[in-house]
Homo-oligomer: A and B are copies of this chain.
Amino acid sequence: MQSNFTDKQIQILEVAETLFAEKGFDGTSVRVIAKMAKINIAMVSYYFGSKERLLESLIIYRTSDLKYQLDTLLQEELEPIDKINKLIELYINRINSNRGIYRILHFEFTSKKREQNLLAFSELKKGNLKSLESIIEEGQRKGIFRKDVIIPLITPTILGTFFHFHMNKTFFENLLNLKTEELYNNYIKTNLTKHIQQTIKALLIYES
């Protein structure tokens, strides 16, 4: 995965990612970014033009290869329900190991301030939905999945469950006794992922 950014730019982007994720875009000053990245303040404007465009660059830098991963999954020879399970695993794994940027996306592009920005993000979402649609429709044709589910609402259930869990990290760390970062990550990879898979499977198959 090549990118159009230089090493120095990437260094800045990754520091910005950490800080934006922790303190939010407005809560992070370019001076702090510069200090942490050990560069001069002026370099942010020099390389990216502005703080706002630094954020845009960051999003492009981080989301550019998800589409590819999804496409290869679609090509695999698997039963629809297994594809769904793999898709959920892919989503959770990916978001969980790129928490920073997804937190930022979640935060910054839902507040009205920056809503119109970044058509690319909206296109990404549309593409993801198309992939999910094609899997579910395949399952419906095969008579495995029920036909009265609202497909566009499945993504909110998958991602929303994860996000809501992660957004309340401290709360669940206490509740579930996940004392170390490793335990927390492990819980996501096993229990939370399984819960989501179980939920979606039940939703797609169960007839009342």
- The interface of chain A, by Cβ under 8 A from chain B, is 22-24, 26-27, 106-107, 110-113, 115, 122, 125-126, 129, 149-150, 152-153, 155-157, 159-165, 167-172, 175-176, 191-192, 195-196, 198-199, 201-203, 205-206, 208
Residue of B nearest to A194 (CB): B150
A-B pairs, 5 with minimum CB distance: A160-B160, A160-B164, A206-B206, A26-B26, A202-B202
A118–chain B nearest beta-carbon distance, Å: 11
**CB <8 Å contact, B203 and A198:** yes
**CB <8 Å contact, B167 and A157:** no
**CB <8 Å contact, B23 and A195:** no
Contacts of A198 in B (CB 8 A): 149, 203
Contacts of A171 in B (CB 8 A): 122, 125
Would you call the interface of chain A mostly helix, strand, loop, or mixed?
helix
In the complex, what distance in Å separates the CA atom of A61 from the CA atom of B192? 33
Copies of the protein in its oligomer: 2
**CB <8 Å contact, B164 and A159:** yes
In the complex, what distance in Å separates the CA atom of A160 from the CA atom of B95? 15
Contacts of A106 in B (CB 8 A): 167
A2–chain B nearest beta-carbon distance, Å: 29
Report 14 cross-chain contacts, Cβ distance below 8 Å, ordered by A residue: A24-B107, A107-B111, A110-B169, A125-B171, A149-B198, A155-B164, A157-B196, A160-B160, A160-B162, A160-B163, A198-B203, A199-B199, A199-B203, A201-B208
Contacts of A202 in B (CB 8 A): 199, 202-203, 205-206, 208
A207–chain B nearest beta-carbon distance, Å: 9
**CB <8 Å contact, A111 and B153:** no
**CB <8 Å contact, B157 and A199:** yes
**CB <8 Å contact, A164 and B165:** no
**CB <8 Å contact, B170 and A161:** no
**CB <8 Å contact, A153 and B208:** no
Given contacts A169-B110, A199-B203, A203-B203, contact A161 B163 (CB under 8 A): no
